[in-house]
Amino acid sequence: MVENLYIIMKDSLPKVSICIPVYGVEKFMEKCARSLFEQTYSNIEYIFVNDCTKDNSIVVLRQVMEDYPLLKDRIHIVEHSQNKGLAVARNTAIEHAHGDFVMWVDSDDYIDAKTIALLVEKQIEKDADIVISDAYRCYPSFREYVCLKPEFCNKHYLHKVLRGETEHWLAGKLLRRRLYTEHNIRAREGANMGEDFQVYPQLVFYANRIDYVEEPLYYYMFHNTNSYGHTVSEAIQNQRWASYEVLEDFFDNTEYSIDLNYQKLQMIYFQFKTYVLNIGLSDTYYQMLWRKMHEIDNLTYKNYPLFKRMMVHPLLRENNQKSLSNSKKNLMRLYARTINAVNYALRNTKSHLRCFHIF
């Protein structure tokens, strides 16, 4: 079918801007770039945003570019004068993109050679504003198939995105650029962790049609220990809350507010687990989680999975909001480690299965 697409519509195929923020990915840059430059689809421009990377990522990129001289005029490297963070790097890419559609690729990931062709084919067939495919999460010793099939209706799908019941990645999706430009959708400067979570639901909200290619085309690498997703600190976690607040404002007084309250509890759960494991979060941060936990309504709490309620329950039981007692912290640490061990085992043993959800 891809071949037919080229024969029938060769002169009217939509232009796709592949946008790639670059920072600290020297070890991964070559594989990423080659996967982009070897796409079977031809009407592509490439927007690399150098966010003042301190390593040789751009040197590696330019070396790879030499092997693809025919693409020279379609590859653009935008230079930031200073490091501005991932959120601004994404905004910069949108400002420099000229395609009908945008696709994000993180510079430590890579994509299948037929990714753009298959997504565009589906977009033309259905006149979709967003086209999604399945993906792989790639770990050092195994990879996990991630089914990203959206709901039959945009509204139901948006509910699931906001509740964290399906992935909210920007990467790997074909997105109509007009959704960004007509609705002035941009990431909040400084909120680099969770910046995709603050943007993607807004795109879904405005999309008229979302469609799907049932094939794993995006390879999401969990090897880069320098990425935002592998960094734990109070500053990084505060950026997650800043991203959450963007959506809290956007969906205020709508039917989606209850989903955001559920997502708030999700964030408390994961961050409290991090706190009891002594990974980068202080007693001062615990006090903030204690306050946020007491903002959760009873219905949201009762509908939360039992094993997760057991994790966050001390935040409701404790009257002293200054810190968690050592005995209780030790007990919760044991429980958190058990949850993580079961989670890892499920990922490993079920990594070949499709459409399962990990907690």
Rounded mean pLDDT for each run of 10 residues along the chain, 359 residues in total? 50 91 97 98 98 98 98 97 97 98 98 98 97 94 90 90 94 98 97 95 97 97 63 88 96 95 96 92 92 93 93 82 85 94 76 43
DSSP-based three-state secondary structure for 219: strand
Beta bridge partner(s), residue 257? none
Cβ–Cβ under 8 Å, residues 177 and 45: no
Q: Give domain limits for the chain.
A: 2-229, 256-349
CA 64 to each of CA 52, 67, 132, 195, 321: distance values in angstroms, whole numbers, following the listed order: 19, 6, 28, 29, 54
pLDDT at site 316: 85
- CATH superfamily assigned to domain 2-229: Spore Coat Polysaccharide Biosynthesis Protein SpsA; Chain A (3.90.550.10)
| Cα separation, 60 vs 70, whole angstroms | 18
| Cα separation, 133 vs 150, whole angstroms | 10
pLDDT at site 141: 84
pLDDT at site 186: 97
pLDDT at site 345: 81
Residue 70 tokens read as 């025919």
| Cα separation, 324 vs 152, whole angstroms | 44
| Cα separation, 352 vs 220, whole angstroms | 15
Cβ–Cβ under 8 Å, residues 35 and 111: yes
Mark out the alpha helices in 164-256 (DSSP H runs).
Answer: 177-183, 195-206, 234-250
Element (H, E) at 37: helix 29-37
CA atoms within 13 Å, Cβ hemisphere of 31: 14
Residue 331 tokens read as 């007990």
Query: 113 burial class (0-12, 13-18, 19+ CB within 10 angstroms)?
Result: middle
pLDDT at site 356: 40
pLDDT at site 232: 76
Q: What is the CA radius of gyration of the chain?
A: 21
pLDDT at site 354: 46
pLDDT at site 1: 52
CA 304 to each of CA 168, 247, 296: distance values in angstroms, whole numbers, following the listed order: 20, 21, 11
Beta bridge partner(s), residue 143? 138
DSSP-based three-state secondary structure for 159: helix
pLDDT at site 322: 79
Mark out the alpha helices in 46-140 (DSSP H runs).
Answer: 57-65, 86-96, 115-126
**Which of 39, 93, 30, 41 is closest to 66 using CA atoms?**
30
pLDDT at site 161: 96
In DSSP notation, 285-317 reads HHHHHHHHHTTS-HHHHHTS-HHHHHHHHHHHH
